[in-house]
Amino acid sequence: MKIADVVLVEVEGEFEVEKPVNEERIAQPLDIYPEFGELGAGAPPRPGQKVPHKDVYLEVRTEEGVTGVFGPVDGPHAMILRSEMREFVVGRDPLAIEKLWDMLLRRNRHGRGGYYMMALSALDCALWDLKGKALGQPVYRLLGGPVQDPVPAYASMLGFSLEPEKLAARAREYKSKGYQAQKWFFRYGPGDGGEGAGRNVQMVSVVREAVGEDAALMFDAFNSWDVPYAVEIGRRIARFRPAWLEEPVPVDRTNALRTIRERTGIPIATGEHLYTRWQVRDLLEARCADVIQADPDWCGGISELVKIAAVCSAYDVPLCPHGHSLHAALHVAAACPRTVLPQVEFLVLHQKRKQRFMKGYLEPQVGAIRPPEAPGLGIEVDPEKVSARREIE
């Protein structure tokens, strides 16, 4: 087979809000500056409201007529796909994914992370979709699965209000849907003083009280804390037995992560902002993480996530891929033993928007999820949901 073109397709339509999205924002690194600490201007969209929505999908077209699709793809690395990678891959064999991946890494000496690696990730995922379609198999079968069927998913509660009564009601609601684990996001950080710290602790206490002793609870600080703050909050929430504390500080601060881990006794999860097997290996060598969260949309694609799973397995540290999107991580998860990859992340509010233009809706049933059976990844844009479509130059 030969690649004929690499095309970015922008699709446009409306997104009808079913549930409140972004009732509350999360703590963010910029919040140490007071001008960034407040909720952004404008009220969040209400249920029933229709808001305009656009997404970009990557298509790898072949001379044989098979097309690999992946998306939605974010803006900056979408442009790298078009400007840096398209010309190089046109005319080459799309089924030789490992060779293309290695050549694209070698030809850009700044490409070991960041937007270049995110672009390579999207291309890699589209090539796996293409390969699945060419061979008539879902990607998880090409990767050696099914190994676990279905795959446990945890409810990732980004965007919900943290007002105690609503918080408790949502935590109970998602537990009753069958989720064995939930992740909540801290709203406050070091810029918010003692009152913010108290509210962070209160959030953990309310959720634990709502779901009972047996459910697993995880908490994410989105890189927004520092060591003293993380140690203080960690010590105050330890009695609620968090399954992990996620990204209290950026992932490259391995000494800080180790200090937080040792002083709080809470397992540390991180790695959604790591790229490639080599960065994951270094993090594991630093003995500061208990859960690795590499994301196939960013870390180097499906090819690289499979290698990262092997590296994590060699260190006996579980891989729980970050849920920027779902399809790619799910196919890898379905092809890994549960001891290697115990669960995937399902963003209960944001997946509706991420899958807005796709045929069907991929979601967990009773806290576990199966990858699509269609050849490839099972990502198909539904023309019925699209009001306008254009190829980006």
* Residues forming the site for Mg ion (CB under 5 A): 220
User: What 3-state class would DSSP assign to 237?
Assistant: helix
Q: Write down the least CB distance from residue 220 to Mg ion, Å.
A: 4
Closest CB to Mg ion among 124 and 220? 220
List 77, 322, 327, 331, catalytic entry: 322
Q: Write down the least CB distance from residue 66 to Mg ion, Å.
A: 35
Q: Write down the least CB distance from residue 156 to Mg ion, Å.
A: 8
Angle in degrees, CA 258, 262, 266, rounded to 5: 100
The secondary structure of residue 61, as a DSSP letter, is E
Q: Write down the least CB distance from residue 187 to Mg ion, Å.
A: 14
* Residue (of 259, 306, 252) closest to 282 by Cα position: 252
Closest CB to Mg ion among 133 and 353? 353
Closest CB to Mg ion among 84 and 295? 295
**Euclidean distance between CA atoms 105 and 113, whole angstroms:** 10
Q: Write down the least CB distance from residue 295 to Mg ion, Å.
A: 9
Which DSSP helix (H) or strand (E) runs through 155? strand 151-156
Closest CB to Mg ion among 322 and 331? 322
Name the token pair of 301.
């694609």
Enumerate long-range contacts of 41-48, CB under 8 Å, 24 or more apart: 44/20, 45/17, 45/20, 45/21, 46/17, 46/20, 47/17, 47/18, 47/19, 47/20, 48/16, 48/17
**Euclidean distance between CA atoms 366 and 74, whole angstroms:** 30
> Catalytic annotation on 350?
no
Q: Which residue is nearest to Mg ion (CB)?
A: 220
Closest CB to Mg ion among 73 and 347? 347
| 344 strand-pairing partners | 153
* Terminal-residue alpha carbon distance, the chain: 25
Active-site amino acid positions: 322
